[in-house]
Amino acid sequence: MSKVLVSDPIDQAGIDILSQVATVDVKTTLKPDELVNIIGEYDALMIRSGTRVTKEIIEAGTNLKIIGRAGVGVDNVDVPAATRQGIVVVNSPEGNTIAAAEHALAMMLSLSRHIPDANASVKRGEWDRKTFVGAEVYKKTLGIVGLGKIGSHVAAVARAMGMKLLAYDPFISTERAEQIGCQLVDMDVLAQQADYITLHIPKTPETTHLINAELLAKMKPTTRIINCARGGIIDEAALASAVKERKIAGAALDVFESEPLAESTLREVGKDIILTPHLGASTTEAQVNVAIDVAEQIRDVLLGLPARSAVNIPGLGPDVLEELRPYMQLAETLGRLVGQLAGGRVELLNIRLQGEIATNKSQPLVVAALKGLLHQALRERVNYVNASIEAKERGIRVIETRDAAVRDYAGSLHLEATGNLGTHSVTGALLGDGEIRLTNMDGFPINVPPSQHMLFTLHRDMPGIIGKLGSLLGSFNVNIASMQVGRKIVRGDAVMALSLDDPLPDGILSEITKVPGIRDAYTVNL
């Protein structure tokens, strides 16, 4: 009989499910070295946030088939190490969806009617009705930042309450937003028009301090902000000042840049700011749901069935995985690249498999391309299992074609995406040593390896333009690692592909397009 180790406290419902197919040991006080010493006895490991599953632990788990994280994040698991060992890693991406959405709605209503402070006032023996005059949400405009599962549920409830819905999400199609009942707008318009703003996005370099002093200044004095997503999306000092100075009406926060919340000006604002200690997923139902969800997946894998929420590569044997891994890396890289070129709101992705890969099982490569395409929007929340579902939910139409006759390389992959920045295409291939090469961009032949920070330009092939661009970048202290020009005809249109040592500073793209002969410029971070 299989053996499962549960190293963090989970709901009994999860343990009951595991007990159907395995012997379950619950040991929640293990030190890392103790876990290393015993993990080799087990076929599965179930954790929450307390256990860190390091490379050392994974390599010691010689019998491990699956690691289950009862929750969303897998930051405490070395997923690449698990993948190399053929161990499936699963999470519960939807277990706390309803809990998080309901907490955001509860915060919005509590903020509108000053419920926490009114409650405290009555318990002090007071009866002060005038101080706690509130506002109705009916017919007000709710701005939803992020239309994923949680944001979509908030939208459905808010719509039922008679609210008008605006949304900002650069990674969802207009059609999908309309199905949810939202009008897509840019962030500035949302900030200017919304009476309530609720955040449902991950924290990334792009979203850090998205709500800052500049954006707060554009809001109405009646605007109220709710954040039950991630700390750090809001500049907390700027928010506290805006509420104190009556630039906005209030805020309700469940998450903070540093947790637990230390000394903060947020505590000084009074009834116009509500603070809760990261309770978004803290419901009895959510804790049960994540335990059941992950326990069921562990049970299925132990029975030889596929996992539904794997964060690495489920359902592939080690031999198949080893064969496809380089091509999957190629597909994911090209997906990231073309997604950024086309703009986040991609509506159509055309995937063409060329050469020898056109004859192989293509689904893992299509999924890898979608995972790369959605990376900017979802980060670690997108995986090889849910990529297709996430693409469908965002209204992205996928067309797959094959052309075995193309023989420029042993096998190459062509991706074409249509988004809010137009239609762009990129082709890539693997060299004999597995190195990825970009071989074509927007119909222009190139031959460059992808790098972390890249700049692409569309320009007129004319003398001096390379030097002008190099001088401009140099004036901003941008160092060029490599550069190549691709063209179809002499002195016609051309593309320039530059690898940079660091990300391009803000504001330089507009300066680049001012250079005579350069018609457009795009940055890509892989």
* Rounded average pLDDT per 10-residue block, the chain, 526 residues: 95 96 96 96 94 96 94 83 84 88 98 96 96 96 94 97 96 90 97 98 90 97 96 96 97 94 92 95 91 95 84 60 80 94 90 81 84 85 75 90 74 91 93 87 93 94 91 92 91 93 88 92 91
Dist CA 72 CA 97 (whole Å): 10
Q: What torsion do the CA atoms of 39, 40, 42, 47 make, to the nearest 10 degrees?
A: 20
pLDDT at 246: 95
- This prediction has a pTM of 0.77
Residue found under tokens 């979802």: 378
> Are the CB atoms for 300 and 306 separated by under 8 Å?
yes
Answer positive or negative: Cα dihedral of 340, 344, 350, 353.
positive
- Report which of 141, 165, 138 is spatially closest to residue 153, judged by C-alpha positions: 165
* The one catalytic residue among 69, 200, 230, 299: 230
pLDDT at 380: 67
In a shared domain, residues 34 and 182: no
In a shared domain, residues 114 and 56: no
Q: Please indicate, yes or no, if residue 466 is contained in any of the structural domains.
A: yes
Does residue 230 carry a catalytic annotation?
A: yes
Say how many domains are in the chain.
Answer: 4
In a shared domain, residues 290 and 178: no
Q: Please indicate, yes or no, if residue 281 is contained in any of the structural domains.
A: no
Dist CA 348 CA 424 (whole Å): 11
* The one catalytic residue among 136, 259, 285, 511: 259
| CATH number, residue 499 | 3.30.70.260
Dist CA 121 CA 131 (whole Å): 10
pLDDT digits (tens, 9 = 90+) for 82-95: 877 878 899 888 88
- Six-digit token pair at 368? 């890898």
Q: Please indicate, yes or no, if residue 266 is contained in any of the structural domains.
A: yes
In a shared domain, residues 257 and 398: no
Dist CA 315 CA 148 (whole Å): 26
Q: Please indicate, yes or no, if residue 265 is contained in any of the structural domains.
A: yes
- Single-letter code of the amino acid located at 191: A
Q: Please indicate, yes or no, if residue 413 is contained in any of the structural domains.
A: yes
pLDDT at 339: 93
pLDDT digits (tens, 9 = 90+) for 425-459: 999 998 877 789 999 999 999 999 999 999 999 99
Q: Please indicate, yes or no, if residue 395 is contained in any of the structural domains.
A: yes
pLDDT digits (tens, 9 = 90+) for 230-260: 899 999 999 999 999 999 999 999 999 998 9
Residue 503, helix vs strand vs coil: coil
In a shared domain, residues 271 and 323: no
In a shared domain, residues 57 and 34: yes
| CATH number, residue 187 | 3.40.50.720
Q: Which of 221, 248, 275 is the last residue of a domain?
A: 275
Write out the residue range of the structural domain in which residue 358 sits.
316-442
Q: How many CB atoms lie within 10 A of CB 62?
A: 11
In a shared domain, residues 235 and 222: yes
In a shared domain, residues 73 and 172: no
pLDDT at 39: 97
In a shared domain, residues 75 and 125: no
Q: Which of 387, 417, 442 is the last residue of a domain?
A: 442
pLDDT at 261: 93
Which helix (H) or strand (E) element contains residue 13? Answer: helix 12-18
Non-local CB neighbours of 16 within 8 Å, separated by 6+ positions: none
Q: Which of 391, 426, 442 is the last residue of a domain?
A: 442
pLDDT at 341: 93
Q: Please indicate, yes or no, if residue 497 is contained in any of the structural domains.
A: yes
| CATH number, residue 386 | 3.30.1330.90
In a shared domain, residues 210 and 81: no
In a shared domain, residues 144 and 247: yes
Q: Please indicate, yes or no, if residue 280 is contained in any of the structural domains.
A: no
pLDDT at 352: 92
In a shared domain, residues 139 and 264: yes
Answer positive or negative: Cα dihedral of 343, 391, 147, 233.
negative
* The one catalytic residue among 113, 278, 397, 453: 278
- Single-letter code of the amino acid located at 331: A
How far is C-alpha 457 from the geometric centre of its chain's CA atoms?
27
